[in-house]
A and B are shown apart, each in its own frame.
Chain A
Amino acid sequence: MNNQAPSKFALRFLAWFCPYYLYEGIEGDLLEQFDENLKTMGHKRARRRFLWHVLLFFRPSIILRNNFKLNIINTIMLGNYFKITARTIMKSKLYSFINAFGLSIGMAFCMLIYLYIQDERSFDQFHANKDSIYRMEVKRYNTWKMWSEDEDMFSSMAYLQTALGPTLKEELPEVIMATRYNHGGEGVVTYGDKVFTEDLTYVDADFFQMFSFDVLEGNRKTMLSGQLEAVITPEVAKRYFGDESPINKVIEIDREGKKSFTITGIIAPPPANSSLTYNILIRQENRPYYDRNNENWGNFGCPTFVMLEEGTDMANFDDNLAKIVDKYMADKIANWSLPEEMPEGLAPFTYLYSKLTDIHLNTEIGWRNNSDPQYSMILGAIAILILIIACINYVSLALVTSKSRRVEVGVRKSIGANRSQVIYQFTFESIILAFVSMLFGLGLMKLFLPAFNSFTSKAISLDLQSLSEITIVGILISILVGVIAGSYPSLVLSHFKPAEVLKGNYSSKVKSGFVKPLVVLQFAMSAFLIVSSVIMYKQMEYITTKDLGYDKEQVLVIPTQTGWNDNANTAIKQMRQALSYNPNIVAVAGTSSSFNRGFSLNGYEIDGVEKSAYVYAIDTEYIPTLDIELVEGRNFDENISTDTTAIIVNEALVEDMEWENPLEEYLNWTGDTIGLGFKVVGVVKDFHFRSLEHKIQPMLMSMNKEYTGYLINMLVRISPSDIPATIKEVESEWRALFPDKPFDYNFMDEDIDRQYESYSQWMSIMGLATGFAILISCLGLFGISGVNALNRTKEIGIRKVMGAELSNIFILLNKQYIWLAIVAFAVASPLSWYVMNIWLSDFEFTITIGWEIFALSMITGLVVAIATVSYHAIKSALLNPADTLKYE
C-alpha cells in the first residue's frame, strides 16, 4: 500500500526548496508521472524515478525563484520581525540574558583567538626584505649520543660556526649581505655613576641594512662600521643619558674585560612580533673568545642570517653551500665516527636555511621566542567549545520555551504566512540576538585583553585596523551562530499546525527529546574541561611541591658580574667573609650555574663508550647551603689540596658507570691521556638540578677551575625572620665591596618556578575556560529546569494533594538531570584521559591519573548541576497545591 505512493522524503524535500507558488503545479505533474510510471514499471523503479526527478528540479532556475519572492516579503515583514524580537527579549529577560551572556563570552573568546592567530602570523612580516632574508641552519649527524634513547640520529639547529657568515658573503656571489646575531650575553654597562647589567646583542654592520628596524638617529649605512661602536634603543638611552642626546657619548661595557664604545645610533625597539630582539647592539668581534671561535669550524654558537640576490636559483645556492662544507668541514667530518651506512640521501653535515618569516612557527629548530602552531589550535578549540556550549543553550531554551510562541506561529500562519517565512523569522530573531551578543562580546574582549596578553605572554594591542577586522569577524561569527543556533528551533517552531494550535488543543506535543542529547553534549564538554583542569592543577601542585632533593627556600641568587674568570671565586670568598658576622645570613656558596640559569653538559669516552654528564663548578659551602644529602663519602674540603682534582657525583652517574664502590673510583671525563682522571670523594643523593621535564641524569661537581670553570653565581641563604631587611644588609655589603657592580638578585624558588611558567599559563587559560564553560552550561540548565518545573506545576500540585512529600518531589524533578550528568561524564572521561596523557608526557615526573580524579571531578560537576536545578525543584515543591490547581 505504502509502496504505491512516492517517498515522503522526496516530497518533503521538494516542498522545502520549491517556491510555494510553483509547488502545487510541479508536485501534481510529478505525481501524475509517477502514476503513469507505476503502470509501466515496478513500484520500486517508479519510486526511484520519482526521487530522481525531484532531484532534477533542484536546480538554480527553480531555487532562485524562491529568493526573489522571499526578499520582497521579508523586507516588508522585517520591521515586524524586529519589533517581535525586541518584545520577546524584553518579555523573557532571564532567558535572553542566559543566551546573550553565553554567546557574548563565546564570541569574545573567538575574537581573542583571532587576534592571537593574527599576531602569530604577523611575525617578522614588517621587514621590507623579508622575502630574500634567510636564516642559516645546520643538520648534522649526532657524533656523541645524547642520553635519551629516542634521540634522532640527526639534529638540526640554527647555531653555526662564527666564521660562516663572513665566509658566505665573501665566497658566494648570490649572498649580498650577511649578519651574525648573538643575543643575550649579559654585560655590565657603565656611564658616569650609572651602572646596570644589560643584555648585549652581537651583530654585523649589515644588520641595519638587511632588517627594517627603524633607525631614529644615526646613519643606517655606516652604523657599527667601527669596531668599538654601539647602537642602543631609546629605552637604554633614557636609562643612562636621561634627556641628553646619546650620540657620540662613550659608555663602558664590561664583558670579559672592559671596553669603551661610542654610541653612533639610536634604533627603535623591536616590535612585539619580531623574532629578533635587542637592547644594545655591538659588533660580533667584541663577543668573548671571538678570535678563537672564528678559527674553529667545530664550534657552533652563532645564529647567522643572509640576504640573497633577487631571483637567486635556490638549487644553485644549495650546491654552493655543499661546496662550503667540502672546503671547510671535510677534514673534521673525516674524523667523526660515522655509522657504516648513512641513511639514504643524508649527508653527515648539511647547511640548510629557512625564510625569515617561517622562523616563528617552526618548532623543529629552536629559536628564542618561536612558538608552536598547536597552541593556536588548542586555543581555537577551547573558544569553539565555549561557543558550542552557548549555542546549545540557545537551542534548548528555544525548544523548551516554544510553547509560548505557538499561538504566534498559529496566527501568523492562518493570516497567510508560509512555513519558510516563519523559519526566516526565527532565524532572523537568533541572528539579532547573536548581533547583540557580539556587541557585548566586543566589550568583553576589550576587558579580557590585558589578562589574555599576560596568559599568553603576548603584547597584542587594539588599533583601528585590528578593531575593524575584529568587527568583521564578529559579524561573520554572529551570522554563522545565528543561522546554526536558530535553524533547529525555527524548523520545530514553524512546524505547528495553525488549526490545532489555535483550537487550544495542545496535544501536538513538541518533540523536546532532542534537548536531552544536547544537554548531555554540553555537559560532556564541560566535564571534559573540568577533568582536564583538575588534572592540570594536580600536576602543577605536584611539581611545585615535590621534594627536589635540595632546599630551595630563602636562597638569594646573585650573579657575581665579574665575567668568566677567577675574580668570581674571589668575590664569593670576600662576600662570605663580609657576611659571616651577620646572624641573619645562614650560608654563602658559589656555583657555575644556579637552577634554571643554564647548564653545561660534557661528553667523554670511557672504554670506547660515549657518555655524558652535567658538570657544575661548586665550592665547599654549596652542598651544606642547599642541604643536599650525601649518601657516601664526604664534602670537599679547602684544606685537602688534592680536592681540586676530586669530584662529587650523583647516584645516576654511579649507576651509569656501574660502580660497586664509587669512593674507590676515578672518572676520566677530561680526556686525560696520562692520569686516571678525577677521584670520586663523595656521592650525593639524586636531586633535580634540571626541571621535572627531565630525568635525573648523571652529573658531577668539582672545584677544578680549569675544567669546570668559575663560580659566577652567589647563593646566599638567609634566615626567614625579616627577609627585606636582610636583603638590604646584603646589598649594603655588596655596595661596599663592589661599588662598580650592579646588585641583581632573585629568589631561587622563583627561578625554579619560572621553569614551569608556560604550564601555569596554560593552566590559567584552561581554568578560565572551564569556569566560563561551567557557568554558561549551568545557566542553560537553570533555564531548562525552570521551564520543566513550570510545565509540571499541576502534576506537582496533584502529587502533593495525594500526599507526596517535599523530598519525593525534589527527587522526581532532579532525577533526570543526575542521569544526564552521569552519561555526560561517561562520555567525557575517556576523552579527557586520553588528551591529558598526551599533555603529561611532557613531564618526566607525573601524577598518575587515578579514578579519584574522575570521581572528584564528577562529584564536583554533579553538585554544581544539582545546586543549579534545585532552585526550581524546591520552589515548585513548596508551592501550595491550592494555588496551582484552583484554576483547573
Chain B
Amino acid sequence: MGKEYLGEFEELVLTMVAVLGEDAYGNAIVQEVKERLDRKVNLSGVHVTLYRLEDKGLVKSHMGGATNTRGGRKKRLFTITNAGMALIRAVQEQRMSLWKLIPQLKLVGS
C-alpha cells in the first residue's frame, strides 16, 4: 500500500461507503456524514470524490433499481472493493501504531 495515498475527505467518503454497505450513494453519504459527524458536506464534492475513488479502483458502482421517489431516477450505488477495504484497514492500523507512540504522560502534565 506504500504508494497509495488518501486525502482526508477521500478517506471519509471511502469509510462511509464501507459503513453504508449496500445502500451507499451520493445523497445517503451526505446525510450519514451530517448525522454521525455533524459535518456539512457538498453533494457535488461527494460525487466527485466517489468518481475519483472509482478511478483508483477503491470502490465500484452500479445502477440501482428504479425508484418511486427522486423523480423515478435510478441511484448510482457504490460498494467498496477489496482493495478499498485493505486500504482503509491499513490506514487504520498505521494510525493506531502512531497513536501508541504518543507519550501518555503528556496528557497529565502540562
Contacts and interface: CB of A to CB of B under 8 A. Distances in A.
Pairing of A with B: yes
Given A29-B47, A33-B27, A56-B42, 11 more contacts: A22-B51, A25-B26, A28-B70, A29-B75, A31-B70, A32-B69, A32-B70, A56-B43, A59-B48, A61-B51, A61-B52
A26 B48 contact: no
Contacts of B70: 28-29, 31-32, 35
Interface in B6-46: 25-27, 30, 42-45
Interface of A: 22, 24-33, 35, 53, 56-57, 59, 61-62, 65
Contacts of A65: 51
B52 to A, nearest CB: 7
Contacts of B45: 56
A27 to B, nearest CB: 6
A31 B71 contact: yes
Contacts of B42: 53, 56
Contacts of A33: 27, 30, 43
A885 B63 CA distance: 53
B73 interface: yes
B51 A32 contact: no
Nearest to B48: A61
Given A53-B44, A57-B44, A28 B74 contact: yes
Interface in B53-97: 61, 63, 67, 69-71, 73-76
A62 B47 contact: yes
Given A35-B70, A57-B44, A28 B75 contact: yes
Contacts of A29: 25-27, 43, 47, 70, 75
Contacts of B27: 29, 32-33
Contacts of B43: 29-30, 33, 53, 56-57
A19 to B, nearest CB: 9
Contact of B73 (A31, A56, A57): A31
B73 A24 contact: yes
Interface of B: 25-27, 30, 42-45, 47-48, 51-52, 61, 63, 67, 69-71, 73-76
**Nearest 3 pairs between A and B by C-beta?**
A25-B76, A28-B73, A56-B44
Contacts of A28: 67, 70-71, 73-76
B44 A59 contact: yes
A24 B61 CA distance: 13
B74 A62 contact: no
Most-contacted residue by chain A among B30, B42, B69, B70 (CB, 10 A): B70
Contacts of B73: 24-25, 27-28, 31
A57 B76 contact: no
B44 A25 contact: no
Contacts of B74: 24-25, 28
A557 B74 CA distance: 93
B46 to A, nearest CB: 9
Nearest to B61: A25
Contacts of A30: 43
Contacts of B48: 59, 61-62
Contacts of A31: 70-71, 73
15 contacts: A25-B74, A28-B70, A28-B74, A28-B75, A28-B76, A29-B26, A29-B70, A29-B75, A31-B73, A53-B44, A56-B42, A56-B44, A61-B48, A62-B48, A65-B51
Nearest to A5: B71
A27 B76 CA distance: 10
A29 B77 CA distance: 11
Nearest to B30: A33
B63 A24 contact: yes
A22 B69 contact: no
Nearest to B42: A56
Contacts of B76: 22, 24-26, 28
A259 B13 CA distance: 97
Contacts of B75: 25, 28-29
A53 B61 CA distance: 22
Contacts of B51: 22, 61-62, 65
A104 to B, nearest CB: 45
A262 B16 CA distance: 97
A53 B48 CA distance: 13
A34 to B, nearest CB: 9
B12 to A, nearest CB: 17
A30 B75 CA distance: 11
Most-contacted residue by chain B among A29, A59, A62 (CB, 10 A): A29
B7 to A, nearest CB: 13
Contacts of A32: 27, 69-70
A26 B63 CA distance: 11
Contact of B26 (A26, A35, A56, A62): A26
Given A22-B76, A29-B25, A35 B47 contact: no
A22 B54 CA distance: 13
Contacts of B69: 32, 35
Contacts of B30: 33
A354 B71 CA distance: 71
B72 to A, nearest CB: 8
A53 B27 CA distance: 12
A75 B39 CA distance: 44
B74 to A, nearest CB: 6
Nearest to B27: A29
A28 B63 CA distance: 11
A33 B25 CA distance: 12
Contact of B63 (A25, A35, A57, A61): A25
A265 to B, nearest CB: 73
A33 to B, nearest CB: 6
A637 to B, nearest CB: 100
A62 B42 CA distance: 14
A844 B25 CA distance: 79
A28 to B, nearest CB: 3
Contacts of B26: 25-26, 29
Nearest to A56: B44
Nearest to B78: A25
B98 to A, nearest CB: 31
A54 to B, nearest CB: 9
Contacts of A59: 44, 48
A59 B42 CA distance: 13
Contacts of B25: 25, 29
A438 B5 CA distance: 51
B22 to A, nearest CB: 16
A59 B46 CA distance: 13
A360 to B, nearest CB: 54
A25 B73 CA distance: 7
A32 B43 CA distance: 11
B49 to A, nearest CB: 9
A52 to B, nearest CB: 10
